[in-house]
Amino acid sequence: MKIVIAPDSFKESVSAEKCALAIKAGFSDVFPDAEYLCLPIADGGEGTVDAMVAATGGRLVTLPVTGPMGTPMQGFYGLTGDGKTAVIEMAAASGLMLVEPEARNPLLATSYGTGELIRHALEAGIRHIILGIGGSATVDGGIGMAQALGVRFLDADQQVLGAGGGELMRIASIEMADRDPRLSDCRIEVACDVDNPLVGARGAAAVFGPQKGATPTMVDALERGLVNYAQVIQRLTGQDVAQIPGGGAAGGMGVAAGVFLNATLKPGIDIVLNAVNLDGAVRDATLVITGEGRIDSQTAGGKAPIGVAQIAKRYHIPVIGIAGVLGDGVEVVHQHGIDAVFSILPRLAPLPDVLASGETNLRQCARNIAMALKMGNCFQA
């Protein structure tokens, strides 16, 4: 019996790797002789670097960067095992979890540190970069990232602008002459799990601003700034970037990556699943287990568990989904290849307690699922 365990992280609680190991431990209590293959995954957000490094036998590179609120911090990115690809996630330098809740302010938050990670990879000779843009603290349109790579944003008086989403409204022109020339020889893929445009009701400010600490007044200011930003880019390049699908991802980083990095936006889960060769892993499996912190109707929109399930279904392999919370509309995932879903929560408890006990609850839930399968004679021990 071969069981493939391919979960995403339970954010703020359990990493994807620890999640996979906890599920394996729970199943091993019941099926100790089964073959287990743990493939922690991610969809472009936090944990993408770890998943790709683990899958390819790569390594982490650490370096000092500018944090999302402008203070120095240690950032990191991954190098794949062959040393040819850098895997960078915004969460490692410009992530929301790096900012205390009371300090979150997307008018000030910058993606500059993400640009520093890219620059360091270029200096190391890397010419293929996978950039995961989930989990950012920013709605700066990616201008911080671009600034770190030599792009200059100027106001009406030709003065160089500073950092943060609050500067977007002041952009009058953009100078690309000093953009890092090594970008022209670099292939950059952006791992993105949303299709939101830059502006409008589904845009970066309206949808993601409040999640990153923006008040309604801030959202209005950010929206006006992003509209101005799109207009300046159109004058510079001739491209209308306001409604490009995925352009609003990570507070507008989707647009910046396309314009300043000449990057290609792809579903993050597709990039990761290809790297870990999930297709080859599941084709002879007995069962596939996936999961993430929350499974609900939005999971069907391209989140990691659905990516896993769709590959498993090519080979008619049953799929179980495990989550911290099962939200509204969760039943829709059954139409996309997840046969059964389970919450790990054994009881109601304060959120800090729930997050702290995630690993224990995962193992216990996995054991209960395994025991139910054994009692139902679904698998032979």
Write down the pLDDT at residue 50. Answer: 87
The model carries a pTM of: 0.84
> For 47-88, what is each residue's pLDDT tens digit?
889 888 887 889 999 999 999 999 999 999 999 999 999 999
**pLDDT exceeds 70 at position 381:** no
Q: Average the pLDDT over 106-113 and give the result.
A: 98
Closest C-alpha to 325, from 16, 43, 10, 39: 10
Q: Which residues are registered as beta bridge partners of 355?
A: none
DSSP E strand stretches across the chain:
2-5, 35-38, 59-66, 72-79, 86-89, 128-132, 152-154, 173-175, 187-192, 264-267, 287-295, 319-326, 340-343
pLDDT band at 246 (very low <50, low <70, confident <90, very high): very high
Q: Please name each of the domains of the chain with its CATH number.
A: 2-34+286-375 (3.40.50.10350), 48-269 (3.90.1510.10)
Phi, psi dihedral angles at 373 (to 5 degrees): -65, -40
The confidence band for 20, taking pLDDT boundaries of 50, 70 and 90, is very high
Q: What is the CA radius of gyration of the chain?
A: 21
Band the pLDDT of 380: cuts 50, 70, 90. low
What's the pLDDT at 330?
93
Region 28-54 average pLDDT: 90
Q: Is the pLDDT of residue 151 over 90?
A: yes
